[in-house]
């Protein structure tokens, strides 16, 4: 029986974070308390109790001076306030993903919208989220959504903000949304299913489809574990949900050739390891022991050059490694046949007791020994891995070792992979030397083992990563949301900023409060900008971004700084036929009429002023309603004496 473990089984980020916080609190606090179970796993709860952390069922049990841990599922706002009022300190282990959902429903209520959650109404996470708004509508699935839409008064016209339980099955979420989109016209939708949950469920489905039986490990109270079990049963007829190795269903697994193993997000790695180890030990016991005659025959068999064998390391010296091959010949691996890296010590490659696969490169029956090679087996395995990665379109990692004609060479597990310049991920005119010594991810696109030729693409991996990042941005984007982006390109009317897989445009008028002629006056390609979303169109895939701080009103800054009669140092920003506009503070311009530029008649403002020039001007009038300012340079100039011979008038 072969046991295949899912890659993403066990703790997710939020659970691992909560358990770490709990363990640190148990070690440091004098009176650590835990409000409910920090996660849905009995063993973790018992371990924390042994460390001195006591559980309380509600905030009313907390006393002044207690340090109270809040569970990963989160709690309502009232719990925080109650604990604070009782003089208890709060340590918040709420999963960041759950905290984000709490913020969304709270913001929805503040906007006058009805918060809606798709999830299990009795689940602690859902109950906690409900404590962040006055009235949270919870639907367990599409059936309840359909019933509400048909019976509720004015359901179609309600302003709804829809979120999901982080561990919800994606099928339940999408089918519920389909009904809401059909019945309701004013929706704000936030897909808050945790990415780790979706990945775990997808892997479980793929694994269940190709095994004889599935074992799902997790606490019975865990929603994540429950959903994993439901998904596995869609693809496999024999699915068993257990809490630990003691519950393994040996009768149910009887006759299975391949068994899949996965675990919920609240299941510690130690329990998963214990289950897998127990299944492996049972497999060994079931196979039985070879009879004595077979063992004698195995021991008396001779080795042949070129044969692949398995042995156990018995001793390590500076020059060779001794191996027991289970036959009459003694085996040894010369250091130069251990690895391709001459700087590595033998004890860094193998340890006494290790079981290793080897090639026989020479047999000396007279002396009774065989010379073996580990690096040849490793080389074959690497090629097999690369061929498999090419077939399965897996992503591999390596280091760029050199620039080659037409591209670069990447060392992947010791194999040279050629990446053409067109697949390097760099711009067409960029130098390939930029990649040398960099750690890169690539996909193998061509393998010719006979010619020892491997071709790969860095660009494909980058494009997929960008597409995944873009999907994440579009799934969570909203007006006012802030991003840290990079300036990718520039035009006369604005700049395009990459906010993580998606480019948005910052119009020149939204770059700065000051009047500028071209974006290159304040930004350059490659600069990092803090931007926020002004508007977006998912259908046209367009995003409008801003950089200006909307919380700062330039007119208010002007009014707080100057008054009529004050003298200001202003910058001429635009010359017109009737006068000149000058910036008083960033974002606020005043007009210097042509008659107020000089103390004598001039034909045009350009005779005296130039754009960019800084001059002193007097504020002669302020129209607060229209937000207009009149400036005068003439008012600051001494009167010019009349020419001799002219009358005073």
Residue 642 in this model has a pLDDT that exceeds 60: no
Mean pLDDT of 305-321: 83
Res 548: pLDDT: 67
Res 288: pLDDT: 39
Write the DSSP string, 571-602.
Answer: EEEEE-SSEEEEEEETTEEEEEEGGGT-SS--
H or E segment and range at residue 130: helix 124-130
- Residue 632: pLDDT band with limits 50, 70, 90: very high
Lowest-pLDDT range, 86-90, 267-271, 551-555, 571-575?
551-555
Residue 19 in this model has a pLDDT that exceeds 90: no
Residue 287 in this model has a pLDDT that exceeds 50: no
Give the residue, 569 or 539, on which the prediction is more confident: 569
Mean pLDDT of 183-205: 85
Judged on CB neighbours under 10 Å (0-12, 13-18, 19+), 589 is buried
Q: What is the pLDDT of residues 162-173, one digit of tens each?
A: 999 988 888 899
Residue 648 in this model has a pLDDT that exceeds 50: no
- Residue 291: pLDDT band with limits 50, 70, 90: very low
Q: What is the pLDDT of residues 123-159, one digit of tens each?
A: 889 999 999 998 999 999 999 999 998 888 888 889 9
Res 254: pLDDT: 82
Do the Cβ atoms of 216 and 268 come closer than 8 Å?
A: no
Helix, strand, or coil (residue 318): coil
Mean pLDDT of 26-48: 79
The rounded distance, in Å, linking the Cα atoms of 169 and 191 is 12
Which of 526, 345, 507, 335 shows the shortest CA–CA distance to 427?
A: 526
Res 282: pLDDT: 62
Confirm whether pTM is higher than 0.75: no
Q: How many CB atoms lie within 10 A of CB 393?
A: 11
- Residue 596: pLDDT band with limits 50, 70, 90: very high
Do the Cβ atoms of 328 and 300 come closer than 8 Å?
A: yes
Residue 616 in this model has a pLDDT that exceeds 90: yes
Lowest-pLDDT range, 280-294, 324-338, 583-597?
280-294
Res 257: pLDDT: 85
**The pairing of beta strand 482-491 with beta strand 494-498:** antiparallel
Res 350: pLDDT: 86
Residue 641 in this model has a pLDDT that exceeds 60: no
Res 295: pLDDT: 43
Lowest-pLDDT range, 279-293, 370-384, 529-543, 599-613?
279-293
Res 550: pLDDT: 58
User: If you average pLDDT over every residue of the chain, what do you get?
Assistant: 85
Q: pLDDT > 90: what percent of the chain?
A: 26
The rounded distance, in Å, linking the Cα atoms of 69 and 94 is 9
Catalytic residue of the set 2, 60, 125, 203: 125
Strands, E assignment, 499-541? 503-507, 528-537
Helix, strand, or coil (residue 72): coil
Residue 301 in this model has a pLDDT that exceeds 60: no
Mean pLDDT of 204-219: 88
Mean pLDDT of 343-358: 84
Residue 370 in this model has a pLDDT that exceeds 80: yes
Res 567: pLDDT: 93
The rounded distance, in Å, linking the Cα atoms of 211 and 213 is 6
Do the Cβ atoms of 166 and 120 come closer than 8 Å?
A: no
Mean pLDDT of 265-279: 86
Mean pLDDT of 537-562: 82
Do the Cβ atoms of 231 and 262 come closer than 8 Å?
A: no
Judged on CB neighbours under 10 Å (0-12, 13-18, 19+), 416 is middle
- Residue 551: pLDDT band with limits 50, 70, 90: low
Q: 554-570 burial, b if ≥16 CB within 10 A, otherwise e? A: beebbeeebeeeeebeb
Res 160: pLDDT: 93
Residue 293 in this model has a pLDDT that exceeds 50: no
Per-residue tokens: 445: 């696109």
Res 367: pLDDT: 64
Give the residue, 12 or 527, on which the prediction is more confident: 527
Q: What is the pLDDT of residues 478-498, one digit of tens each?
A: 888 888 889 988 998 899 998
Res 292: pLDDT: 42
Which of 131, 50, 137, 54 shows the shortest CA–CA distance to 94?
A: 131
Res 316: pLDDT: 84
DSSP state of 428: T
Which of 188, 126, 124, 128 shows the shortest CA–CA distance to 159?
A: 188
Write the DSSP string, 482-496.
Answer: EEEEEEEEEETTEEE
Q: What is the pLDDT of residues 521-534, one digit of tens each?
A: 888 988 888 888 98
Residue 111 in this model has a pLDDT that exceeds 90: yes
125 is catalytic: yes
Strands, E assignment, 342-432? 355-364, 369-373, 395-404, 407-412, 415-420
């Amino acid at each position: 029986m072969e046991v295949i473990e899912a890659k993403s089984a066990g703790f997710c980020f939020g659970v691992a974070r909560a358990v770490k916080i709990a363990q640190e609190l148990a070690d440091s606090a004098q009176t650590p308390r835990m409000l409910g179970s920090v996660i849905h796993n009995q063993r973790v709860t018992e371990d924390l109790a042994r460390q001195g952390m006591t559980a309380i069922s509600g905030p009313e049990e907390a006393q002044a001076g207690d340090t109270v841990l809040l569970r990963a599922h989160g709690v309502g706002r009232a719990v925080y306030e109650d604990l604070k009022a009782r003089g208890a300190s709060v340590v918040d282990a709420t999963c960041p993903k759950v905290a984000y959902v709490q913020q969304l429903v709270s913001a929805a209520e503040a906007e006058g919208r009805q918060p809606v959650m798709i999830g299990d109404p009795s689940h602690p996470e859902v109950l906690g989220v409900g404590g962040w708004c006055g009235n949270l509508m919870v639907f367990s699935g599409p059936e309840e959504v359909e019933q509400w839409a048909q019976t509720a008064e004015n359901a179609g016209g309600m302003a709804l903000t829809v979120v999901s339980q982080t561990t919800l099955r994606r099928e339940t979420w999408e089918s519920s949304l389909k009904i809401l989109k059909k019945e309701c016209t004013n929706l704000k939708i936030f897909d808050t299913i945790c990415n780790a949950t979706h990945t775990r469920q997808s892997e479980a489905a793929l694994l269940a489809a190709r095994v004889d039986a599935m074992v799902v490990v997790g606490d019975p109270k865990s929603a994540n574990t429950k959903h994993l079990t439901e998904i596995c049963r869609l693809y496999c007829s024999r699915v068993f949900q257990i809490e630990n190795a003691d519950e393994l269903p040996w009768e149910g697994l009887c006759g299975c050739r391949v068994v899949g193993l996965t675990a919920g997000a609240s299941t510690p790695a130690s329990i998963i390891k214990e289950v897998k180890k127990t299944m492996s030990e049972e497999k060994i016991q079931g196979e039985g022991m070879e009879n004595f005659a077979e063992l004698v025959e195995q021991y008396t068999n001779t080795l042949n050059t070129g044969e692949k064998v398995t042995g156990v390391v018995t001793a390590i010296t500076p020059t060779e490694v001794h191996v027991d091959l289970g036959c009459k010949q003694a085996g040894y691996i010369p250091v130069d046949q251990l690895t391709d890296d001459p700087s590595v010590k033998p004890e860094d490659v193998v340890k006494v007791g290790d079981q290793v696969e080897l090639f026989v490169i020479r047999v000396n029956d007279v002396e009774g020994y065989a010379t073996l090679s580990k690096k040849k087996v490793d080389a074959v395995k690497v090629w097999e891995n690369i061929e498999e990665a090419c077939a399965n379109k897996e992503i591999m990692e390596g280091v760029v070792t050199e620039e080659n004609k037409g591209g670069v060479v990447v060392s992947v597990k010791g194999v040279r992979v050629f990446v053409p310049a067109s697949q390097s991920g760099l711009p067409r005119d960029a130098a390939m030397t930029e990649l040398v010594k960099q750690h890169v991810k690539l996909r193998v696109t061509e393998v010719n083992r006979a010619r020892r030729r491997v071709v790969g693409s860095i660009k494909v991996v980058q494009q997929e990563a960008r597409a995944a990042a873009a999907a994440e941005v579009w799934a969570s984007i909203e007006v006012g949301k802030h991003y840290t982006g990079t300036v990718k390109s520039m035009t006369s009317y604005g700049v395009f900023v990459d906010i993580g897989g998606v480019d948005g445009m910052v119009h020149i008028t939204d770059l700065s409060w000051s009047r500028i002629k071209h974006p290159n006056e304040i930004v350059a390609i490659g600069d990092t900008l803090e931007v926020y979303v002004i508007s977006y169109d998912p259908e046209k895939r367009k995003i409008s971004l801003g950089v200006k701080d909307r919380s700062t009103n330039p007119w208010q800054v002007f009014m707080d700084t100057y008054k009529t009669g004050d003298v200001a140092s202003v910058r001429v920003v635009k010359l017109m036929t009737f006068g000149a506009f000058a910036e008083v503070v960033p974002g606020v311009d005043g007009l210097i009429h042509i008659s107020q530029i000089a103390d004598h008649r001039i034909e045009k403002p350009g005779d005296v002023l130039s754009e960019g020039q800084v001059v002193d001007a007097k504020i002669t009038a302020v129209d607060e309603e229209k937000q207009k300012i009149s400036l005068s340079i003439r008012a600051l100039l001494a009167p010019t004496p009349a020419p001799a011979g002219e009358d005073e008038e």
